[in-house]
Structure 1
Amino acid sequence: MVDFNTVYDRKHTHSYKWDHLQAVFKTEDVLPMWVADMDFKAPKEVNEALKKRAEHGIYGYTVINDEIQEKVVNWVEKQHDWNINKNWLSFSPGVITSLHIAIQSFTEENDKILLQTPVYTPFFNIIRNGKREVVENSLVFNGEKYEIDFKDFEEKLKLGVKAFILCSPHNPVGRVWTKDELLEMARLCLKYNVLILADEIHADLVFNDYKHIPVASLSEEISKQTITCMSPTKTFNLAGLQASFLVTPDPKKRMIINRDLAQQGFSMLNTMGVIAMEAAYTHGAAWLSELMDVIEDNKKYVRTVLENETNGKLNVIDSEATYLLWIDCKKLNLSDKDLQTFMIEQAKVGLNPGSAYGKDGEHFMRINIACPKETLREGVNRIVQAVNKI
């Protein structure tokens, strides 16, 4: 059994989540349940591998050899039934780095890039900072889950969109796209010659009864139109070690990606990131299985308590993946700015404001539930007490 119950003190570890509260929330007096890393230790085998490497004491340039590449290939095949070739792999410090490189490599200034909003905040940043134009295909909430407006999706592609960033599974709404949904998105992208940039960093964090399908696995034609970004960092809580990979089946696109990664100085990962990736993909499956049981139990707890003990004032969207929950706060009748202030000053919890994920996220909050139950209870109780005082 893995220990997912111990509360660890993460303060004074240069933690962005725990030591950056003043800068983000203008106060230290909040319980941080925001940025997407976990308050759990990484798998024992990963930590042991890192300690062993540290004991060696020499941290020279570190290569990713055939053996490590095979570990990546085997993990993707076992977890997602996708048979990839190790020659399709490229490596970068993170998915956002990979997406940035891909956008710079395959689009030009002022080109249009499609997003499905509300969606992960850095997507907006890498598009706008690269002097590209964001085009939004708003997801539609049907009362139970978010769906794709395919008519609008196609109309937006007709505007001359050059690339589409697919968030799969979706952050923050927690959807695991079905095979039919993926096929239709891919069909339209092929029809209008739109490059698919698939962010699949949450691929391993899928709940029971759901199955992540890499969009590039659906057909050879789709795979050649797709660059897939994956990483062990969300799965095994390794974000600070910065290690990710791209899967690019098309050789011409892969040559360009590798060239531009090298030109930007991203041709090699840091030593500890490589060690952690290898250990996680070799030994991490059992740990991940236990983690997902914990996260699913945490999800059920948050949904039950927030909805029942606030008399329905909060609606927690039933996620299908990730350890991030999307909370509909519209019934509180607060402006978006007042909602953010309320969570900080009254509830004293540090959450992500929904508006950070685009206009479609206004009046929502995102909560990170990857923490021990003691921490979770404290955060949820703070929210309930504050809401019931309104």
Structure 2
Amino acid sequence: MHQAILSLVKLVEVSPHASPYQNADILPLPPSRRTWTRKTFIFFWLATAINIAEWSGASTALAIGLTVGQAIAVNAISTFIICLALVISGHGGGKWHIPFAIINRTGWGIRGAWFTLCNRIILSCCWYGVQSWYGGQMVKIMIGAIWPSFYNMKNTFGPNEFMKTNEFVAFVIFWTISLPVFLLRPEHYRIPAMVSSVLVTIAAFTLFIWALAKQGNVGPLWNDPETVYGVGRLSGSKLSWAMMRMITSGIGGWAGGILYQSDFSRYAVHPGDQIWGQIFIIPVCLFGSNILGIITTSCARGFYPNDPLLWKLYDLLEAIQLHEGTSGARAAVFFAAFAFFLSQVSVNVVACGVVGGMDLAALLPSASRLSTYVADLVPVQPVQPVPILALVLS
């Protein structure tokens, strides 16, 4: 009888060796690693949701003929849907402390889940490359604020290339700086997230207040975007479809973020700690970044009328240094660029590299220690983010 029980136990016993089915990266987190409190999630979302991409989120809406009010409305609708999806997606991680790689199996099965993991790994690599380019632009601004001659570095690339030499140098610097950050485990992100969130919030509001004070009003883009862009005001079905397009576009931009919620909600000390950041901080960040971006860009159009619309923060900071030309302006530009540089590191490492690494570890557990570095290395050559961005922004 005793031997029969032992034999039965052996049949259902899980192997202690790592495999794609169970390994240290995807098993439920032990209590010792559940270190994210409500404050941690708040700092985390402040550090990652206030970024270059969100700042310019309304640019397309205004360019296709929506008014400022309509652009804000579609942002509010998409943000509400995003937050609802975030809460639902993060529930499993907060309750059972398991990642997306495991939750994914409930819908796709044990082996079918590998298909979606492969898709998400590819998405993480592509997004990592794009965000690295944005981060590299902030490195370029920081170097240019210290040594203005960096902006005029001899371009050794061909005239038809998508980047200049100084942009490539800055991109490599940002990519290199990101590498050692992967050595930090997610349960230890509280202090870095707090520092980054405080600095980027201060930088965003300082830039907004400065632009508003310099212009003296909200600028021409806010009052009359149709004239600035040279497009007619939409009405009827065209307006409805344009608003629907922007709502789905806003949700699509966060599709990856919605999926990976359980990868970080699993670090919650108590189930539900993650919800505070999802339903309070994310709406404030997305909605606030949208409005700050519109007003600041509108003001910049007023006091720099000969420049193109300065939606991208790095273009705006470079223009400020060029036009203001004082040592104080250079210092302000440097510190603003540094704050958004930290934000891009947070976005890149947390939302792209670590997430892609977790998924890769679920497929190749024997290489789990190298998985995040694979997500970091692949975007440099195979993905080629610069042509992608050049096509989108053209």
- Give the TM interval when normalised to the shorter protein: under 0.3
Given the two structures, how large is their TM-score scaled by the length of structure 1? 0.23
Q: Which has the higher contact order (CA 8 A, sep 6+)?
A: 2
Larger radius of gyration: 2
The structure richer in strand per residue is: 1
